[in-house]
Amino acid sequence: MDANQRIARLSAHLCPQKFQSMEESSSLVERANCRAKGGAPGFKVAILGAAGGIGQSLSLLMKMNPLVSVLHLYDVVNTPGVTADVSHMDTSAVVRGFLGAKELENALTGMDLVIIPAGVPRKPGMTRDDLFKINAGIVKTLSEGIAKCCPNAVVNLISNPVNSTVPIAAEVFKKAGTYDPKKLLGVTMLDVVRAKTFVAEVLGLDPREVDVPVVGGHAGVTILPLLSQVKPACSFTPEEIEYLTKRIQDGGTEVVQAKAGAGSATLSMAFAAAKFADACLRGLRGDANIVECAFVDSQVTELPFFASKVRIGRNGAEEVYQLGPLNEYERVGLDKAKKELADSIQKGVSFIRK
Ligand SMILES: NC(=O)C1=CN([C@@H]2O[C@H](COP(=O)(O)OP(=O)(O)OC[C@H]3O[C@@H](n4cnc5c(N)ncnc54)[C@H](O)[C@@H]3O)[C@@H](O)[C@H]2O)C=CC1
Ligand SMILES: O=C([O-])CC(=O)C(=O)O
């Protein structure tokens, strides 16, 4: 038996499904699979919607994360190209591509973290809620796959409208009997990334030195920056507060308009998603004091889901923090946010319970 035959036999033994679907591929690809199985410790991460605007950049960034040992890229189009491309990066994560619904289960099996940027983005004039019609069904199908194939995985849900898609995923998991509220996190990190950037601009600081909690949800007035809690401690004029609150709430629309029909934020979103996923992986590893904002199952308000600071640990969002003291401007903002959020959450729940 020559070297190639030995490698092929080993591949077939270690990864039989992959071997079957890659019969015509070179032995080098199979060699990569062998290394993945026996290789470096780390987490297994899947990106669903990996060939999209967010998905491609996010795939790149996750391939650069040393905590990732295996990276599964799933989409209904174009994953072979994205996978071949990203897999040539000389970082340790082994990359595998999965194309179309029939490969969803293989993409998900054994994953520790599943990141979902699948779904259509906004065009100018649309709200995030206008995406519900298409994205609700996509998130439902992908969540059913997760419930079946990796019910213990932490899920980072990016697809809009997040205020409704997170309740959809929760309902799917409840139906399947796999719901663990700590493991489902709606990604609102881009609101925090924007808030830090815009606040730092006003204060003349490096954005990396600034902390701004952003609570509520991820659409318009439901995005509530708590400027009274900015660190380092500082004060803003009423005009600055109005400007910053509006700019943070409308950050997504600012990009949608600038892209003029070519989609919404992808690069800054991939950056934010990669930062958030890294926080989740460090939490899963057992690092202490990992605190980020996320839209989660919550008892902070009377609503069943709400975004606030959460402590991320080995089991996901292990602790959901209270909002802390709010000023009058923020209390008014909170009331507005809760009104809109209640409807969006109910819409997601009804989509599954109907
Ligand atoms: N949470 C947040 O802060 C943000 C959320 N988003 C949302 O992220 C989503 C994706 O945005 P983009 O990447 O710009 O869109 P895109 O259209 O560039 O990419 C979406 C990808 O999803 C794939 N897809 C569609 N149906 C699928 C299915 N059933 N299974 C797997 N993949 C599927 C498409 O083939 C495409 O490759 C949108 O809903 C957008 O509104 C965007 C920015 C920020
Ligand atoms: O605005 C959008 O449609 C995309 C998004 O959620 C954001 O950029 O915050």
pLDDT at 2 over 90: no
The answer to whether residues 250 and 294 belong to one domain is yes
Chosen domain end from 153, 186, 219 = 186
Tell me, in angstroms, the distance from the centre of ligand 1 to residue 106's CA.
20
Atom of ligand 2 nearest to the CA of 128: 3
What pLDDT does 203 receive? 98
Q: Band of the pLDDT at 12, cuts 50, 70, 90?
A: very low
Which residue minimizes the CA distance to atom 7 of ligand 2? 252
Are 341 and 163 in contact by the 8 Å Cβ rule? The answer is yes
Chosen domain end from 167, 186, 205 = 186
The mean pLDDT of the chain is: 92
The answer to whether residues 258 and 113 belong to one domain is no
pLDDT at 91 over 90: yes
Tell me, in angstroms, the distance from the centre of ligand 1 to residue 304's CA.
25
Strand-strand pairing, 305-313 and 316-320 = antiparallel
Q: Across residues 317-345, what is the average pLDDT?
A: 98
Percent of the chain with pLDDT over 90: 88
Q: Is the pTM of this model over 0.90?
A: yes
Strand-strand pairing, 113-116 and 154-157 = parallel
Question: Residue 311 phi/psi, 5° resolution?
Answer: -95, 125
What are all long-range contacts of 25-31, with beta carbons under 8 Å and residues at least 24 apart? Answer: 31/7
The answer to whether residues 219 and 332 belong to one domain is yes
Q: Across residues 34-62, what is the average pLDDT?
A: 86
CB of 187 closer than 6 angstroms to any ligand 1 atom: yes
Q: Across residues 279-283, what is the average pLDDT?
A: 98
List, by residue number, the catalytic residues: 218
Cα 32 from Cα 58, distance rounded (Å): 21
Chosen domain end from 164, 186, 208 = 186
The answer to whether residues 33 and 80 belong to one domain is yes
Q: What is the ipTM of this complex?
A: 0.99
pLDDT at 26 over 80: no
The answer to whether residues 141 and 259 belong to one domain is no
What pLDDT does 354 receive? 87
What pLDDT does 34 receive? 52
What pLDDT does 22 receive? 37
Q: Band of the pLDDT at 13, cuts 50, 70, 90?
A: very low
Q: What is the CATH number of the domain that holds 225?
A: 3.90.110.10
The answer to whether residues 345 and 329 belong to one domain is yes
What pLDDT does 128 receive? 98
Q: Across residues 209-215, what is the average pLDDT?
A: 98
The answer to whether residues 84 and 231 belong to one domain is no
Which residue minimizes the CA distance to atom 3 of ligand 2? 122
CB of 264 closer than 6 angstroms to any ligand 1 atom: yes
Q: Which domain holds residue 253?
A: 189-353
Q: Who has greater pLDDT, 2 or 239?
A: 239
pLDDT at 15 over 50: no
pLDDT at 49 over 90: yes
Cβ neighbours of residue 97 closer than 8 Å, sequence gap 6 or more: 50, 72, 73, 74, 79, 80, 82, 83, 84
Q: Who has greater pLDDT, 12 or 129?
A: 129
The answer to whether residues 230 and 126 belong to one domain is no
The answer to whether residues 22 and 62 belong to one domain is yes
Percent of the chain with pLDDT over 70: 89
Binding site residues, as ranges? Answer: 49-55, 75, 122, 128, 135, 158-160, 194, 269
Measured CA distances, 322 to 66, 236, 301, 307, 312 (Å): 32, 23, 9, 10, 15
What pLDDT does 317 receive? 98
The answer to whether residues 264 and 208 belong to one domain is yes
The answer to whether residues 327 and 196 belong to one domain is yes
| DSSP state for residue 250 in the 8-state scheme | T
Strands (E), the chain: 43-48, 68-75, 94-99, 113-116, 154-157, 184-186, 214-216, 223-225, 291-297, 305-313, 316-320
pLDDT at 32 over 60: no
What pLDDT does 41 receive? 79
The ligand minimizing its distance to the Cα of 266 is 1
The answer to whether residues 285 and 180 belong to one domain is no
Are 70 and 59 in contact by the 8 Å Cβ rule? The answer is no
Which DSSP string do the residues of 185-249 spell out, in sequence order?
A: EE--HHHHHHHHHHHHHHHTS-GGG-B--EEE-SSGGGEEE-GGG-BS-----HHHHHHHHHHHH
Q: For the chain, how many structural domains are there in total?
A: 2
155-172 residue pLDDT tens: 999 999 999 999 999 999
Q: What is the CATH number of the domain that holds 130?
A: 3.40.50.720
